């Protein structure tokens, strides 16, 4: 196709005058060659011999040459290396150390290591380490070299997935240390004594960092008076103190499969501040009147108090009692009354939100079960039950009124936001919906009212394919220091303050709420802290996903899964294949295009509409349930390859 090409001939003539240069990102392949991606529309071929000078992900400038009538790239200058600080696996040979970076497309790249002084004997084959790249071939060096800066974990340690992943994302591995002054109550403001009220907590059986307790009463006209009491770590942690700086840096308690790494010292989060039963605790509280139809009234009062939680209840026990299952029952009549009223409130709020806001669709959650040494022994499905919804509805009420309270008195805080659709994706969503005779306008669905109406229509329709496509057009959740709507929840403003033991943003809102109560000078949170919190949340979520992927590959290696047939839901379609989630255990798998149909020319994978066509006929689409078998478990890349199972 390149023969007698006049444009190519002209390019050759131009090259004789001056060799052109291009700038882009290196993309490598498993077959040794690569491409220089200049933009989303243009890329150039990098031959295997030239790929040896660079790494996948490097940003470079390069010479654009003609070789055998083909445009090729010859890397010239490194702008920004992909690898800087990285994790990898050590190989020791002839008293020399090498490290294999633990990244896709860099698995086989061997980098010579220079350990820090007196550290050479620390590292053995199979160990994991953190390293800094100190020498790159494009900088005039003949080899890639790295300096080993930290040992992560020894070879074959069962906790390798956790420690390597946390090191990769530069996340903390241990709880903060506590000092004697950290356990002193520093807030001497007068508090209401509510220790006589029957506050209860409902959590998982093993939860130790209990940050919310509830007390509810019924008014004479059938309305509800709900008091939400939240643990008060800011009474122990002053602004700018050592622990405050640590909490701001961590942002969140990091919940990982098997264990958590707390934002605050465990002595605070799981003891001194935790609302454990029969212990007097300082709280920030809010009393709210909710109408019997589920509407939240304007009668709201924030105050500081002392409470004693009377019982720690579990989600399963409370759910079983409400559903009339099992043998458990409340210990006394007053606790029974609390559960019954909370259940009644929950049902009224669910009904109200179904008509006026956005109601969540119940989804399955998966939990790893481990042996004592950290090896996965099973993966179980956990469903959201009625007790989960009771707590969820109570916390949503509390966060709505907190947002309103902050807006009314200050006009700022840390708000959780979701903007629905941007203008372009709104047009795309409207165009897509027309194919299913759903008539909306872009102007309509970019308003809070219109977005809520769309979500309610889709809930009634209950079409998983349409839902999945519309979700692709929606924006992501974010934080804002000024009041902004949360489209995905269906509220004009939303600010969380109910988990200050676990979230730094909630600690900030606690301080703002308390400053209003105390009539103190108030400083608006800066934009930088909002960005830091958002970035930390992103890193925590990626780390949790990466550890889960690693654990799934280890778990599914077992012989009993090699020929087992699984039901899976298609979650995405790409040019190279489809992705699916195994319903039994939640593992994400990839099905290459070759396994869908052997003749590539007869196969169309349309990522935009999430459908797969063979010879023009629709065979698969996102949300379809299919039968699969595992084909290959790739431990190096922590990926699971599957193939459709057509047997009956």
The active-site residue out of 236, 315, 366, 504 is: 315
User: Is residue 526 located within the same domain as residue 567?
Assistant: no
The band of 152, judged by pLDDT with boundaries at 50, 70 and 90, is: very high
User: What length does the chain have?
Assistant: 648
Residue 104 has pLDDT above 50, yes or no: yes
255 assigned to active site: no
- Write the pLDDT tens digit of every residue in 436-454: 999 999 999 999 999 999 9
The dihedral region occupied by 501, where left means phi > 0, alpha psi between -120 and 50, and beta the remainder, is: alpha
Contacts of 182 (CB under 8 A, 6+ apart): 236, 237, 242, 243, 265, 267, 268
Return the higher-pLDDT residue of 166 and 105.
Answer: 166
pLDDT for position 31? 81
Q: Nearest-CA neighbor of 70 among 25, 33, 41, 27?
A: 33
User: Is residue 109 located within the same domain as residue 211?
Assistant: no
The active-site residue out of 58, 102, 198, 211 is: 211
Calpha distance 68→419 (Å, rounded): 52
Residue 8 has pLDDT above 90, yes or no: no
3-state helix, strand, coil in the chain (%, to 5): 30, 30, 35
Of 45, 80, 115, the domain-final residue? 80
Residue 167 belongs to some domain of the structure? no
pTM assigned to the model: 0.91
Calpha distance 523→515 (Å, rounded): 10
User: Is residue 15 located within the same domain as residue 44?
Assistant: yes
- Report the 3 state secondary structure along 8-42: HHHHHHHHHHCCCEEEEEEEECCCCCEEEECCCCC
Torsion over CA: 358, 359, 361, 365 (sign): positive
The band of 118, judged by pLDDT with boundaries at 50, 70 and 90, is: low
Answer whether 569's CB lies under 8 Å from 581's CB: yes
Calpha distance 348→344 (Å, rounded): 6
- Write the pLDDT tens digit of every residue in 451-476: 999 999 999 999 999 999 999 999 99
211 assigned to active site: yes
The active-site residue out of 102, 127, 198, 209 is: 209
CATH no. for residue 632? 2.40.50.140
209 assigned to active site: yes
Residue 467 belongs to some domain of the structure? no
The active-site residue out of 102, 127, 198, 212 is: 212
Of 110-114, 257-261, 567-571, 580-584, which gets the smallest average pLDDT?
Answer: 110-114
User: Is residue 598 located within the same domain as residue 503?
Assistant: no
pLDDT for position 442? 96
- Write the pLDDT tens digit of every residue in 472-508: 999 999 999 999 999 999 999 999 999 999 999 999 9
- Write the pLDDT tens digit of every residue in 67-86: 878 889 899 999 999 999 99
Calpha distance 645→584 (Å, rounded): 16
Show the tokens assigned to 160: 């390798």
Residue 423 belongs to some domain of the structure? no
Q: Domains in the chain: how many in total?
A: 4
Task: Please measure the distance between the N-terminal and C-terminal CA atoms of the chain and give it in whole angstroms.
Answer: 46
- Write the pLDDT tens digit of every residue in 248-282: 999 999 999 999 999 999 999 999 999 999 999 99
User: Is residue 26 located within the same domain as residue 111?
Assistant: no
Answer whether 133's CB lies under 8 Å from 146's CB: yes
User: Is residue 309 located within the same domain as residue 246?
Assistant: yes
Of 57, 80, 103, the domain-final residue? 80
User: Which strand (E) or helix (H) includes residue 467?
Assistant: helix 464-473
Return the higher-pLDDT residue of 492 and 122.
Answer: 492
Residue 598 belongs to some domain of the structure? yes
Calpha distance 624→573 (Å, rounded): 11
Domain that holds residue 125: 86-157
Residue 320 has pLDDT above 80, yes or no: yes
Please list, residue by residue across 133-159, b when 16 or more beta carbons sit within 10 angstroms of its beta carbon and e when fewer do: bebbbbeeeeebbbebeebbbeeebee
The active-site residue out of 281, 349, 502, 511 is: 502
User: Which strand (E) or helix (H) includes residue 28?
Assistant: strand 21-28
Q: For the purposes of burial, counting CB atoms within 10 Å of the CB of 442, is it exposed (0-12), middle (13-18) or buried (19 or more)? A: middle
Calpha distance 608→469 (Å, rounded): 9
User: Is residue 102 located within the same domain as residue 222?
Assistant: no
Torsion over CA: 448, 449, 453, 459 (sign): positive
- List 44's β-bridge partners, or say none: 36
- Write the pLDDT tens digit of every residue in 330-373: 999 999 999 999 999 999 999 999 999 998 788 889 999 999 99
Torsion over CA: 552, 558, 562, 566 (sign): negative
Residue 33 belongs to some domain of the structure? yes
Of 80, 96, 131, the domain-final residue? 80
The active-site residue out of 58, 203, 223, 506 is: 203
- Write the pLDDT tens digit of every residue in 538-548: 999 999 999 99
Which residue is associated with the tokens 């299952």? 325
User: Is residue 74 located within the same domain as residue 90?
Assistant: no
Show the tokens assigned to 17: 């005058």
Please list, residue by residue across 356-376, b when 16 or more beta carbons sit within 10 angstroms of its beta carbon and e when fewer do: ebbbeeeeeebebeeeeebeb
Show the tokens assigned to 249: 């840096």
User: Is residue 363 located within the same domain as residue 270?
Assistant: yes
User: Is residue 409 located within the same domain as residue 348?
Assistant: yes
Percent of the chain past pLDDT 70, that is, above it, reads 96
Residue 304 belongs to some domain of the structure? yes
Show the tokens assigned to 130: 């953190």
CATH no. for residue 124? 2.40.50.640
- Write the pLDDT tens digit of every residue in 32-74: 899 999 987 889 999 999 999 999 999 999 999 988 788 898 9
Residue 7 has pLDDT above 80, yes or no: no
Return the higher-pLDDT residue of 342 and 558.
Answer: 342
502 assigned to active site: yes
User: Is residue 98 located within the same domain as residue 232?
Assistant: no
Residue 49 belongs to some domain of the structure? yes
Average pLDDT, the chain: 93
User: Is residue 207 located within the same domain as residue 338?
Assistant: yes
pLDDT for position 108? 66
- Write the pLDDT tens digit of every residue in 167-181: 999 999 999 999 998
pLDDT for position 13? 57
pLDDT for position 59? 96
Residue 147 belongs to some domain of the structure? yes
């Amino acid at each position: 196709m390149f023969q007698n090409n006049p444009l190519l001939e002209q390019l050759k003539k131009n090259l004789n005058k001056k060799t052109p240069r291009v700038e882009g990102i290196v993309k490598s392949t498993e077959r040794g060659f690569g491409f220089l991606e200049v933009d989303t529309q243009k890329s150039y071929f990098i031959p295997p011999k030239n790929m040896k000078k660079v790494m996948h992900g490097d940003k470079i400038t390069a010479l654009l040459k003609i070789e055998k009538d083909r445009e090729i790239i010859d890397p010239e200058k490194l702008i920004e290396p992909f690898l800087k600080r990285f994790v990898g696996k050590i190989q020791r040979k002839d008293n020399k150390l090498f490290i294999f970076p633990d990244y896709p497309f860099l698995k086989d790249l061997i980098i010579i290591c220079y350990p820090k002084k007196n550290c050479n004997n620390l590292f053995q084959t199979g160990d994991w380490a953190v390293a800094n790249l100190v020498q790159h071939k494009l900088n005039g060096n003949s080899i890639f070299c790295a300096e080993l800066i930290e040992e992560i974990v020894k070879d074959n340690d069962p906790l390798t997935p956790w420690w390597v992943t946390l090191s990769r994302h530069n996340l903390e591995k241990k709880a903060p240390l506590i000092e004697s002054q950290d356990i002193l109550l520093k807030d001497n403001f007068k508090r209401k004594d509510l220790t006589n009220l029957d506050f209860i907590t409902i959590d998982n059986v093993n939860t130790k960092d209990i940050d919310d307790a509830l007390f509810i009463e019924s008014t004479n006209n059938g309305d509800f008076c709900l008091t939400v009491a939240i643990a008060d770590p800011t009474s122990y942690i002053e602004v700018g103190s050592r622990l405050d700086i640590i909490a701001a840096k961590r942002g969140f308690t990091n919940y990982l499969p098997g264990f958590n790494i707390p934002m605050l010292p465990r002595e605070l989060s799981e003891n001194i501040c935790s609302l454990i039963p029969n212990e007097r605790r300082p709280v920030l509280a809010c009393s709210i009147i909710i109408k019997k139809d589920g509407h939240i009234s304007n009668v709201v009062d924030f105050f500081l108090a002392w409470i004693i939680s009377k019982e720690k209840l579990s989600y399963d026990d409370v759910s079983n009692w409400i559903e009339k299952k099992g043998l458990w029952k409340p210990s006394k009549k007053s606790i029974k009354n609390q559960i019954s009223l909370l259940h009644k409130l929950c049902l009224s709020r669910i009904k109200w939100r179904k008509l006026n806001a956005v109601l969540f669709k119940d989804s399955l959650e998966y939990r790893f079960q481990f042996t004592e040494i950290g090896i996965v022994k099973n993966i179980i499905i956990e469903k959201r039950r009625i007790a989960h919804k009771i707590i969820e509805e109570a916390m949503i009420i509390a966060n709505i009124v907190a947002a309103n309270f902050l807006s009314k008195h200050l006009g700022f805080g840390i708000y959780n936001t979701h903007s629905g659709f941007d203008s372009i994706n709104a047009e795309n969503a409207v165009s897509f919906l027309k194919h299913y005779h759903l008539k909306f306008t872009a102007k309509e669905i970019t308003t809070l009212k219109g977005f809520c109406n769309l979500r309610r229509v889709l809930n009634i329709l209950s079409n998983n394919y349409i839902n999945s496509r519309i979700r692709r057009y929606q924006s992501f959740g974010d934080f804002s220091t000024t009041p902004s709507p949360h489209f995905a929840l269906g509220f004009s403003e939303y600010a969380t303050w109910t988990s200050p033991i676990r979230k730094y943003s909630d600690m900030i809102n606690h301080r703002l709420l308390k400053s209003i109560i105390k009539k103190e000078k108030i400083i608006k949170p800066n934009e930088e802290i909002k960005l830091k919190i958002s970035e930390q949340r992103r890193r925590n979520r990626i780390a949790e996903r990466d550890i889960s992927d690693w654990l799934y590959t280890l778990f599914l290696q077992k012989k009993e899964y090699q020929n087992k047939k699984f039901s899976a839901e298609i979650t995405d379609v790409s040019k190279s294949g489809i992705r699916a989630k195994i319903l039994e255990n939640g593992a994400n798998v990839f099905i290459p295009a070759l396994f869908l149909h052997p003749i590539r020319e007869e196969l169309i994978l349309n990522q935009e509409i999430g459908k797969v066509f063979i010879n023009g006929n629709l065979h698969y689409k996102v949300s379809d349930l299919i039968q699969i078998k595992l084909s290959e478990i790739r431990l190096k890349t922590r990926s699971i390859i599957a193939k459709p199972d057509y047997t009956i």
